[in-house]
Structure 1
């Protein structure tokens, strides 16, 4: 693994590389791919040179190398090569998530309203492969380790769309632009910036319209509903879900299932058990009708498989105290479905939130030992994996424990408070 050593990280770059399950050779190969995408022709870096930079043995780099490293990690090279200072102070991995998302949102807005609509099929395939990898990495990697790549990929796609393209190439590029903007919207939600997330989602919807892709439109409406749900705006979440209904009817992809499942969850947040359960049945029916399309083929966050559907059912019903038995059943099934981190459907956030949903169901019945058992693996998550969604659901558990005047309940509440304070949304921005 890149940067693997018995001693602690010597530079910020080495610290970042140790968080990635890749060799120096693989990172050097990605550097070259990125250099080509940025138009830095002939710029390469050897694994040995990269290793020496990471160890602090060398600090000299050419301007072109610095430009590529800056794009690769979304951190200035001087910052990358400075000595690693451990956990104190501002974390380099979370240095500027909000700033990067705002930059990408501004870029999306400017491009969307100031475009001037060729390129080889091979180059588009390389970009497509990068989007596939990012969609698949997002559910299994902490956001700070992939955000730089995601922002850079969007910039590359938009720069290509700023040139004249054939209609077929333009459609593929708009499709990828919509997907990357959707992933950036996820990122905004993860750091508790809903307005920023919705800005990216609006750009995604605009580009989806250019592709005339019902599944992509349904996916983005579901995403908008998702963002509003986690922003404690369930009525607005309902509105976006309803706006996506027409696209859901036309779509063959699993995005329709996500739309109905999210709609159910928003009704549950409003205490309407009847509507929530009816929409969970609609989600089941949509899942039976679904036929994978090119959006599902991207994998990761672009598809809504059975494990995620189980998680949504459990999380929906956990908001309804009278449904605690079914909530526990679905949450346990979801945890089991997410047991294998190597499975392509694995999502650490959904797995963790399923455990919190299980804790909610158990808390409603006063089973505090069960609550503690459910939350133990969640408390063990590193801060960069404790996204906004998890913090929000933890707050529900915290409130659910208010009615228990016991030391066990107080200890759990203190652990939840510590968990929330050391979370991704709390990193300095």
Structure 2
């Protein structure tokens, strides 16, 4: 049971949890239900995190987590986490999770649907075609949500989705269902690879992608094979291994040309950035052109239909071109042109494929080009939207490009504004997602 220690409760939250006849795992499930009722997309909490909050070991929470906890317990998070005083009036147990709020008919239907799903998945029976489709819908939602949701709010759902897929793959399945489950396992594995990359853990990221490629082999799906190779190329590029990035991208091009998914232009765009990092301007520009040609040859396919992080749309391709050119000497004007075009394409947050990280990277590419051409005021203005991102959105690759801008400003350091920008960049990278508790 939650908080059933013999010692005195350490926080008000721990006191309230001891009033409930629930395990921490059950409380975590209740948290997820309340989050859905509040339309807090992608918000979850682990049993370990909840236990540490209750014990007073942790105080950091995201705004969304605070809203859910306040709804569950009827108290602000600051009140929940303050030391428990037995002499003070005890919090009213009526405000705890047993009586969070009166559910509407729609909320009750959502709760019933979730209960049905949990029951079906826990019976250890082979999933039906309808069950596979339900899992596919859930994972499609995650693929689309990944681009717009801070990772700390999404990671629990990703791990839960992987467990759902694996629990079904452990059972005997019809061949068609098994292949679809391996298809889904590849996508979830790829997203977990992205997650590890965003946290600045490239070895963990590559481990996830190697396993995901194996699932793609079991699914016998060239689009998935190409997508995972693109992700491996991306990871290597951002960890300072441009030759490995080229190798992985080349390894995926044959799969991509057969599948004709948006991974085809992605792999060429990956090569363009890597060749720019290697100083090969001619090859980098050639790959930008190849990416454009490949985008024109994309056909409708089951992978790109998942959307979100599974597809490589023109806005992202334009940003890649900007980042490529910003790395090349003498290409600042062209880099600025592509970066401004990408920023314009990412203006509408409701547009399919909108991605806060690519939008931020587009501003960074513009700032990098401006810094290298001596436009200090322009670089400062371009950096502002990125510098204002909350820590949970400051993913690892943003730090990398920030450091490139920092280096480009070294040539301008007598300029007072350049020094001020560098100080802000250093603060940004210190307080970012790789150091953020997830």
* TM-score range normalised by the length of the shorter chain: 0.7 to 0.9
2:247 corresponds to 1:247: no
2:362 corresponds to which of 349, 354, 366: 354
Residues 231, 61 of structure 1: alpha-carbon distance in 2 compared, 3 angstrom cutoff: farther
* Partner-residue secondary structure (3-state), 1:73: coil
Q: What CA RMSD, in Å, does the superposition of the two structures yield over aligned residues?
A: 2.4
Return the alpha-carbon distance in structure 1 between the equivalents of residues 351 and 55 of structure 2: 34
Deviation at 1:211, TM superposition (A): 1.4
5+ unaligned residues in a row in structure 2: which ranges? 1-12, 33-42, 64-125
The equivalences for 1:18-97 within 5 A come to 60-63=20-23, 65-66=26-27, 68=29, 73-76=44-47, 79=50, 82=53, 91-92=60-61
Rounded to whole Å, the distance in 1 between the matches of 2:185 and 2:149 is 21
In 2: Cα distance, 1:54 partner to 1:259 partner? 50
- Name 1:422's counterpart in structure 2: 431
> Does 2:290 align with 1:282?
yes
1:196 matched to which residue of 2? 204
1:123 aligns with 2:117: no
Whole-Å separation in 2 of the counterparts to 1:180 and 1:424: 21
3-state DSSP class of the match of 1:402? helix
CA contact (8 A) 2:14 2:54 kept: no
Matched residue, 1:100: none
TM-score, normalised to structure 2, is 0.76
Structure 1 runs of 4+ with >2 Å offset: 53-59, 61-74, 80-85, 88-94
Residue matched to 1:30: none
Mapped to 1, the partners of 2:55 and 2:210 lie a distance apart of 38
Where does residue 399 of structure 1 map in the other structure? 407
Q: Does 1:342 align with 2:350?
A: yes
Cα deviation for residue 123 of structure 1 reads 1.5
Distance apart, 1:119 and its partner CA: 1.7
Asked if 2 retains the 8 angstrom alpha-carbon contact of 1:171 and 1:211, the reply is yes
Kindly indicate whether the alpha-carbon contact (under 8 Å) linking 1:139 and 1:349 is maintained by their aligned counterparts in 2: yes
Partner of 2:267: 259
**Change in CA separation of 1:90 and 1:424 when aligned onto 2, cut-off 3 Å:** farther
Partner of 1:178: 186
Specify whether residues 162 and 401 from structure 1 end up closer, same or farther in structure 2 by C-alpha distance, changes over 3 A only. Answer: same
How far the C-alpha of 1:249 sits from its partner, in A, is 1.7
Structure 1 residue 68, shift from structure 2 partner: 3.3
- Find the counterpart in structure 2 of residue 300 from structure 1: 308
1:289 to 1:144, Cα distance in 2 relative to 1, 3 A: same
What is aligned with 1:409?
Answer: 418
Give the deviation of 1:210 after TM superposition: 1.1
- Greater radius of gyration (CA): 2
Report what 1:11 is aligned to.
Answer: none
Indicate the larger mover: 123-132 or 414-423. 123-132
> 1:292, CA displacement in angstroms?
2.4
8 Å contact kept, 1:70–1:76: no
1:310 counterpart SS class: helix
TM-score w.r.t. structure 1 length?
Answer: 0.78
| Residue of structure 2 equivalent to 1:35 | none
Unpaired stretches in structure 1, ≥5 consecutive residues:
1-52, 95-117
For 2:71, the equivalent position in structure 1 comes to none
Question: Compared with structure 1, are the counterparts of its residues 370 and 78 closer, same or farther at alpha carbon in structure 2 (3 Å cutoff)?
Answer: closer
- CA positional deviation for 1:57: 8.9
Name the counterpart of 1:168: 176
* Distance in 1 of aligned mates of 2:49 and 2:158: 21
State whether structure 2 residue 386 is matched by structure 1 residue 373. no
Q: CA deviation at 1:70?
A: 8.4
- 1:171/1:59 CA distance change after superposition, 3 Å: farther
Distance in structure 2 (CA, Å) of the matches to 1:55 and 1:370: 54
The answer on whether the counterparts of 1:54 and 1:81 sit within 8 Å (CA) in structure 2 is: no
